Amino acid sequence: MDKMITKEIKPVLPKQIGTEEGKLLFQKSGEVKNFDEAKRIVSYLKATIYHYGGVGLAAPQIGIPKRVFIVNIKPSERRPNIKEVGFVAYVNPRILSLSSETNKDIEGCLSVFYATLYGGVGRANSLKIEYFDPEGKKHLGEITDPFHARVVQHEYDHLNGVVFLQRMDKEDFAGILWDERLDIRGKD
C-alpha cells in the first residue's frame, strides 16, 4: 500500500445508486484534458480502494465525472486463484474490441448498496484497450485473463453511466445475493 497516499488523501465513501449524489453513476463521464488532474483523481481512487476494498473503482463512484478508473487485482481469501495484475490506472480508456467468447460470474459494486448485493453478469473473456496512464503515456493492450477483462469492463461501464445491475439478464435476478456483513461502511 502506498502510505503517502493514505496519509495525505482521505478516502471517499463511494456514491450509491438510489441517492441524489448517486445520479452521477448513470451519466456519461467527460475526458480528462489535464494529466495533473488525472494524477489527483487516481490518488483519490487509490486511497478509496485501499480503505474500502474492491478490485476496481471508477472516478464517477467518488463523485468525479471523468473517464478514469483503476484496478487493483491480486489473489484474496474470496478469490485465491485469480491472476495477480496489481495496480493499474486507466485514463481516457477506449475498449477497441471484445472477444466473442464470454463467461458469467458474480459481480458486486462499491456503489450498489455499499457492496452488499451481488449478481451474475455475462462478460467477454478478453478485450483490446487503448488508454493513457496518469503520466500521459499512451498504451495499447490486450487483456486475456477473463477476471481482469471482467473488472475492466465493469469499471469502463461506470464511465458510460452503466452499473452491473443493468447488465444482468432478467432471469438472473432470482439468484441475486445479499450479505449485509460486507457493508463497506463498517470500515469507517
Does the pLDDT at position 186 exceed 80? yes
Average pLDDT of span 142-158: 98
Q: What is the average pLDDT across 66-90?
A: 93
Rounded mean pLDDT, 62-73: 97
Q: Which of 3-7, 35-39, 77-81, 82-86 has the lowest mean pLDDT?
A: 3-7
Q: Say how far apart CA 100 and CA 1 lie, in whole Å.
A: 36
Can you give the pLDDT at residue 166? Answer: 98
The CB-side HSE value for 170 (13 A sphere, CA atoms) comes to 0
The answer to whether 178 and 115 are in contact (CB under 8 A) is: no
How large is the average pLDDT for residues 50-71?
97
pLDDT tens for 3-34 read 444 457 889 999 999 999 999 999 999 999 99
Side chain identity, residue 110 = L
pTM of the model: 0.94
Domains of the chain, CATH where assigned: 3-187 (3.90.45.10)
Percent of the chain with pLDDT over 70: 96
Average pLDDT over residues 75-94: 92
Mean pLDDT of 51-79: 95
Written as nine digits, the cell of 13 is 465513501
Torsion sign over Cα 34, 54, 72, 166: negative
Q: Which residues are catalytic?
A: 155
